[in-house]
Structure 1
């Protein structure tokens, strides 16, 4: 998924609301594009633009801070403010440090699973769910591209036990109530040999942060 531009909202409970006419760029992971645009359309935040970086960067999280920094440098002059809609996403704190260095804000939380579940709630359940494998709407749709093929399970199904032998269940965090996605998520769980649980989380903290404006 390449970069795209479309209206989108801002974030952060302590961030000041943009003044009338102020242009805001929301720099986000491509895996969140559909959700951000849905919230944008409902809230009517047409003064904000969305630029998405490729979601596949999650397979190489060490590249995320540089990719974000390059996008900020490229677009800073065209916007009054830039917000980064990533969690830590496996960068080990490097993305937060880079955003502070650049003087831009970012969404709090470790990753989008926590956004959708609610960051405080996700922190609580992690003590009981350390053997859970999570999928979102995006990852259910892109399961083959982001799980099956990158891990080589299409070519070497015997690797499944090595990758997922310590997991017990697949938790599908559903952003939308979609029977087709539910069925596909069940198939994903069966493919991985895991028990299945579906939670209709909606947009969680992501929606609350954006609608706070």
Structure 2
């Protein structure tokens, strides 16, 4: 029996034995900062045919490393899944991630970064100049503010450097994916520590949920 004669979910091993492979399986390769949100969307929609694997969120400190990390994850899993999608926006890669995804033949989330697609790319763009001096937090960054902002900048050791880092910002915009009063208060405290005005926008999952819904079909 040739490989072509087998059902679509079976292939021949090198020993000539038929093995079952998944059909209709989708893999999401995502930024670790989006894991909680993706799992919530996946669970509430019952998308059991979707699997999630995450790359370390700390890659955002070195965005030039994101394309290679994504490529390695795609190549590692390509033979196991029918479709693979990349749950990153450009995220500071200067278009390199888009080029990588096009070369690999996989789709990625549209937008410059998660702040944009959480709010909705069109709506985010409409804020324009009013957000030019805004520092953004998502639920993830509100939870991980010290680990991803305060300590990497050395402000835990040198708080006197605060105004040097944030002096050109005027406000902190907290994009809330969930309606959590405790998390809102944590984001407000972050704004106070940075010396910035505080603004909360309830965004939900924005274009992320819309994109995952399109990919789930």
TM-score by length of 1: 0.89
From 75, 89, 92, the counterpart of 1:90: 92
Q: Following superposition of structure 1 onto structure 2, how do residues 103-114 of structure 1 map, counting pairs within 5 Å? A: 103-114=105-116
SS across alignment from 1:27: strand
Q: Deviations over 1:69-122 (max 9, x none)?
A: 011111111011110010000000000001111111111111110111100111
Instruction: Give 1:132 shift.
Output: 0.4
The structure having more radius of gyration, on CA atoms, is 2
- How much does 1:210 deviate? 2.1
- Structure 2 unmatched ranges of 5 or more: 1-21
CA distance in 2 between counterparts of 1:190 and 1:154 reads: 15
Deviation (angstroms), 1:46? 0.3
Aligned length, in residue pairs: 194
Matched, 1:80 2:82: yes
Determine whether 1:207 maps to 2:212: no
Determine the C-alpha separation between the residues in 1 that align with 2:55 and 2:62. 13
Structure with more relative contact order (C-alpha pairs < 8 Å, separation 6 or more): 1
Contact 2:23 2:81 in 1 (8 A): no
| CA deviation profile, 1:22-70 (whole Å, cap 9, x unmatched) | 0110000000010011000111110010010000000000000000001
Secondary structure of the structure 2 residue equivalent to 1:77: coil
Counterpart Cα distance in 2 of 1:105 and 1:32: 17
Counterpart position of 2:15: none
Root mean square deviation of aligned Cα = 1.1
Equivalent residue, structure 1, for 2:130: 128
Aligned partners of 2:96 and 2:26: how far apart in 1? 23
* Other-structure match for 2:57: 55
Give ranges in structure 1 of 5+ residues lacking alignment.
Answer: 1-19
Aligned-residue offset at 1:209: 2.0
Cα pair 2:31 2:87 within 8 Å, conserved:
yes
Q: Report the Cα distance in structure 2 between the residues aligned to 1:110 and 1:126, rounded to whole angstroms.
A: 14
